[in-house]
Amino acid sequence: MIGNSGIRQAAGQPRQGLLLKWSWRELWHGQLWPVAVALTLIIACVFALAALVVRVEKIMTDQGRSVLAADLVLVSGNPIAPSLISKAEELGLTLSQQTRFGTMTFSEDQMQLVSVKAVEGDFPLRGELVLQSLQGKRNRVQPGELWLAERLFSLLEVKQGDVVAIGDTELKVSGKIEQEPELSFNPFSQMPAVLIHYDDIASTGAIQPGGRVQYRAYFAGSDDKLAALQQGIELQPGQRWLSETTQGRTGELIERARQYLSLTLILVIMMATATLVLTCQHYTSTRIETVAMMKSLGASKRWLWQWLSGQLAMLFSLAAVAGVSIGWGLEALLRLPLADVLPDPLPAMGFSPLLISLLVALLVAVPGVGISLIRLLDTPAISVIQQQADWPKPRKGYGLLLFPVAAALIWFGDNKFMWMTLAGLAVVLLLLAILGVAVVSLLRKGKWGPAMTLALSRIGRSRLTTGAQLAALTSSLMLLAVIWLLRTDLLADWQHTLPVDAPNVFAINISPDQQQRYLADLDKNRVPRSEGYPVIRGRLVAVNNSDALGEEQDPQQRDEALRRELNFTWRDTLPVHNQIVEGEWTTTSGVSVEAGLAERLGISLGDELSFNVNSQPFSATVNSIRLVEWRNMRPNFYFIFTPDVMANLPATWLVSFRIEQDQNELVNQLGRDYPTVSLLDLRTMASRIQLMLQQVSLSLSVLAGVGVVSGLLLVMTLLRLSLSQRQQEIKLYRTLGASKKRISATVWGEYGIMALLAGIMAVAGAEAVVAALVKWGFELPVQWHPTLWLILPVAAIGMVLMMISTMLRQLLQPLR
């Protein structure tokens, strides 16, 4: 403790050395170390999550563009216009063209329908093309070459060097396509692929007027030039752009994981900020006499600012170093479960995570610390001899709140998800505080023992204080529960979306006379399979006799389902993995529509829909609306008809089944026994998605653990500050003759009741907030969590009483 002479010396002639020494002593022996912990937690979490998001976004962009084989792709039903090529060249973009068409290929003994991709010599612009021949590996297609998908070698019964006819030309087989960047996960449109050079298209003679041909232009370049190209080109009917944001089966998974990361980050910042504010308020209350004494000895406000500024500068510097160091390690920990799916080397994170974490901490600290310290500096000198609990509070300090508020407006912008979360939390906390006060008032009307009566009296003495304490304790528990419940619901959804027994092989183009034998062979080998589905391709052309294509002038504005042929099927019964949400399943003159498409196109029960299949028109009445989970790798359809509507149309059959890694021979045998049936083997892709689900789940669990730690820190701070404020009251009780046992029982009863109420209200609040977020934010089905109603209140009581047990012994120690 520094004596009066030291204070006079410091106040009269400030010495930087003494000021620094005193600031350092105050930092560690005062009440500021919890502030440093809170700031460290904020910086560490923001740094780790920002770094992870930066890396993931770069990886997602790179991987998405690798799957596209370019940065941007134009898909067209007509040849690419020379004006578009000239525009791309003017912008300095790299361009590569491709033409796709279906045709028959003929070997000496076999024939097969294939998808021909005629590519230029610089294809692909992104990703990797691997071509395997007896001479080694290649990654470019040259004129006169023919590269086959691996299964075509057995279907056509050819080997490298054999001649295969494509249209009017004959080409020697150059080798097999081992890997190509463009992946298609649509089992209905999958045909075995062959690659030829762009210059060989004319010699095939396969492209005829009226034929189904697709033209693609691949572009690579900077984002601003790509955007300029898109803005400068008016799309024609049958044209559309493809980018990394429109591709990728796992895009929704990653997007929801990013939403969870962002939301958890906000909740962790909120809890750490609450810890910061409470600690600063307690620090202010413990330093009133010190500041008043220094003022009475002649210390000016300027000198006090220097004294406090030194402490804050050291505090923020220590928190920044510790936070960035911990954040670096935390980011590595969050990334560790994703090691198998992240590329090597990793994309650089840059300096943005460092700047963002320090800026967020500074914006939080400015009002969190500043308001309390401004009030502290306005302490009157007379407080040395007389407590001035109600000295004027400087309203100018609350202007500091404008800094984080302005930053939040800029950061969140029009992000309805975040604003909905914050508004929901505010409303729920207010309602819970009011409810808590009402419950305490009801409890006080009952008859209890002396200790419990005194505890309830202590709780209900000030409704404002009780409401604030209950709201603070409830909010910490509720935010903790929200983080964990969202994680649980996301993981449950992903597990439901792609269970471990999900199908991973599709057999398509099964002829009607093969269908029963094919299913029997699967059953004989005990292969888990779906039912067989008849499949035929067609278009929706009208809704209630109104042209479905004519209402939108811009083809790009049409729904994706109207821009292409769809896959139709018919059944007597509802698929087991679909759910009726409107209407009922019928067996005659009807069609069941997928719920999302029905909502987008305004289709309702009873509407008459007109279709066209192979130039044959027909219509059906909407009898039901179905909920379809498109991500579960099962056969799913926009439209399912009753058998009488389409039974006379020619169709092939589809079945999906699950093959384990040790059943490769069975897949090969099916290919030999049914050479006309196309097998789409998705085992590699399914395993990849499963692995990603597991690893993202681990990362979310680590992140949820960070949220739990921040919540526990807030609860500990609340209890520690609340009990320290009770110290004088406990001394008064002892002076008036209360026994240690009676005081302990009263304190235990008071905080036990508050813990029970806070636990119950936290569960109710968490269920409400999570239900809103899940329904309108993540667009998932709402689930309730009955076990949480037991676990959280019991855990809250146990945690609170355990902390009180330790702290209470310290408070009662001087009275022994």
Q: Do 433 and 537 share a domain, yes or no? A: no
Reported as a pLDDT band with limits 50, 70 and 90, residue 120 is very high
pLDDT digit string, tens, across residues 162-210: 999 988 889 999 999 887 777 555 554 556 789 999 999 988 887 766 5
> Would 676 be classed as within a structural domain?
no
Contact yes or no for 18/10 (Cβ under 8 A): yes
Q: Do 261 and 233 share a domain, yes or no? A: no
What is the predicted pLDDT for the residue at 39? 83
CA distance 518 to 522: 6
CB proximity list for 367: less than 8 A, separation 6 or greater = 398, 400, 401, 403, 404
Q: Give the dihedral sign, CA 307/313/319/322.
A: negative
CA distance 115 to 175: 17
CA distance 49 to 356: 10
> Would 270 be classed as within a structural domain?
yes
CA distance 302 to 412: 37
Tell me the sheet residues that pair with 173. Answer: 146
Q: Do 61 and 78 share a domain, yes or no? A: no
- What integer best gives the mean pLDDT of the chain? 77
Contact yes or no for 436/765 (Cβ under 8 A): no
Contact yes or no for 282/38 (Cβ under 8 A): no
- The structure tokens 């709402």 sit at 782
CA distance 88 to 486: 45
Tell which of 180, 213, 242 closes a domain.
Answer: 242
pLDDT digit string, tens, across residues 427-447: 777 777 777 777 777 777 777
More confidently predicted of 390 and 584: 584
Contact yes or no for 756/798 (Cβ under 8 A): no
> Would 303 be classed as within a structural domain?
yes
Q: Do 784 and 692 share a domain, yes or no? A: yes
pLDDT digit string, tens, across residues 65-103: 777 788 899 988 888 889 899 999 999 999 999 999 888
CA distance 585 to 328: 56
117: nearest Cα among 213, 243, 246, 241: 213
Q: Is the pLDDT of residue 3 over 60?
A: no
Q: Give the dihedral sign, CA 97/100/104/107.
A: positive
Q: Do 60 and 117 share a domain, yes or no? A: no
**Segment 681-698 mean pLDDT:** 63
What are the structure tokens assigned to 537, written together?
A: 């391709």
What is the predicted pLDDT for the residue at 11? 44
> Would 63 be classed as within a structural domain?
yes
Reported as a pLDDT band with limits 50, 70 and 90, residue 12 is very low
Q: How many CA atoms lie within 13 A of 34 on its CB side?
A: 23
Q: What is the DSSP letter of 414?
A: T
Q: Is the pLDDT of residue 40 over 80?
A: yes
> Would 298 be classed as within a structural domain?
yes
87: nearest Cα among 216, 222, 226: 226
What SS3 state is found at 432?
helix
What is the predicted pLDDT for the residue at 553? 45
- Using alpha carbons only, give the angle 72, 145, 177 rounded to the nearest 5 degrees: 60
Q: Do 18 and 4 share a domain, yes or no? A: yes
Q: Do 54 and 97 share a domain, yes or no? A: no
CB proximity list for 656: less than 8 A, separation 6 or greater = 187, 503, 505, 506, 507, 529, 530, 633, 634, 635
What is the predicted pLDDT for the residue at 10? 43
**Segment 45-60 mean pLDDT:** 76
Please give the residue range of the domain that contains residue 266: 1-67+249-413
At 285, which amino acid appears?
A: S
H helices of 211-351, in order, are 223-232, 251-286, 288-296, 301-335
Max CA separation in the chain (angstroms): 110
List, in sequence order, every beta strand (DSSP E) within 120-263.
Answer: 130-133, 136-138, 146-149, 163-166, 169-179, 193-197, 213-220, 240-242
Q: Do 77 and 226 share a domain, yes or no? A: yes
Tell me the sheet residues that pair with 112. Answer: 105
What is the predicted pLDDT for the residue at 422? 74
At 633, which amino acid appears?
A: M
DSSP 374-395: HHHHT--GGGGTS--TTPPP-G
Number of H helices, E strands in the chain: 23, 22
Task: Report helix angle 788-812 to 683-725, nearest 10.
Answer: 40
How many domains would you assign to the chain? 4
> Would 175 be classed as within a structural domain?
yes
Tell me the sheet residues that pair with 625. Answer: 582, 593
- Using alpha carbons only, give the angle 676, 678, 683 rounded to the nearest 5 degrees: 150
Tell which of 242, 259, 289 closes a domain.
Answer: 242
Tell which of 188, 222, 242 closes a domain.
Answer: 242
Q: Give the dihedral sign, CA 239/240/241/243.
A: negative
Q: Do 723 and 768 share a domain, yes or no? A: yes
Q: Do 463 and 555 share a domain, yes or no? A: no
pLDDT digit string, tens, across residues 261-273: 677 777 777 777 7
CA distance 148 to 146: 7
Q: Do 431 and 560 share a domain, yes or no? A: no
At 441, which amino acid appears?
A: S
Reported as a pLDDT band with limits 50, 70 and 90, residue 458 is low
C-alpha distances (whole Å) from 550 to each of 76, 233, 238, 255, 547 are: 19, 22, 14, 34, 5
Q: Do 254 and 164 share a domain, yes or no? A: no
> Would 740 be classed as within a structural domain?
yes
Reported as a pLDDT band with limits 50, 70 and 90, residue 559 is low
Q: Is the pLDDT of residue 812 over 70?
A: no
> Would 117 be classed as within a structural domain?
yes
Contact yes or no for 762/478 (Cβ under 8 A): yes
